[in-house]
Structures are given as structure tokens and as C-alpha cells.
Amino acid sequence: MYEKLDKLRAELDRAKQRRADADAKVKQLEQKLREAENTQILADVGALKLTPEQLAQFLQMAASGQLPMAQNGTVANATPVPATVQENNDDYEESEDFNDEEI
């Protein structure tokens, strides 16, 4: 007598379960994306071989608009590294063993 209602309730339960599964998958993929972005950022920063102080100076310059930007909003490839950063970076490279694997 209430077969139609039972079928609708069952279908609703299945749809809710699919939604919960989809929400869980979205959260998992968002986490994977965050981890991949963080790994890429660390690799890019590590490739610059800057000290934490030099990195802070570079980021401060970028945030204040002192670095020329390309049309797509990224730092232009031809951007010269500030002399103080370059000088300190030369000393840092000689004194530290840098390994990309550690990042």
C-alpha cells in the first residue's frame, strides 16, 4: 500500500549517501590540492636559495609593488635581484649545503 513512499524514501537515502560521498571526495581533493600547492611553493622558494631574511625582503618588495610585474600578474623573468639580496645569497650558497630533497 505504501510501496511508492518506501521507494521514494529509499531513493532519498541513496541520494543523501551519494551527496555525502561527493562532499567527502571534494574535501579530499581540496586537501590534496593544498598539499601540492604547498610543495610547489616550497620547491620554488628553495630553488631561489635565499635566507629567510632575504625571502622576507623579497616578499616585502613584491607586496609593496617594488618588483616589476608581467602582464599576467607574475614577477617578470628579467627582474633583477636587489643587490643586497644577491650579495647575501652568494655568501649563503657558499656556507650552506642546500638540498631540494629536504623541503
Predicted TM-score (pTM) of the model is 0.54
pLDDT bracket for residue 2 (50, 70, 90)? very high
Average of per-residue pLDDT across 3-7: 96
Per-residue pLDDT, 1:
78
Task: Give pLDDT tens digits for 80-96.
Answer: 455 555 555 555 444 44
The three cell numbers locating residue 44 = 620554488
The mean of the pLDDT values for the chain is: 80
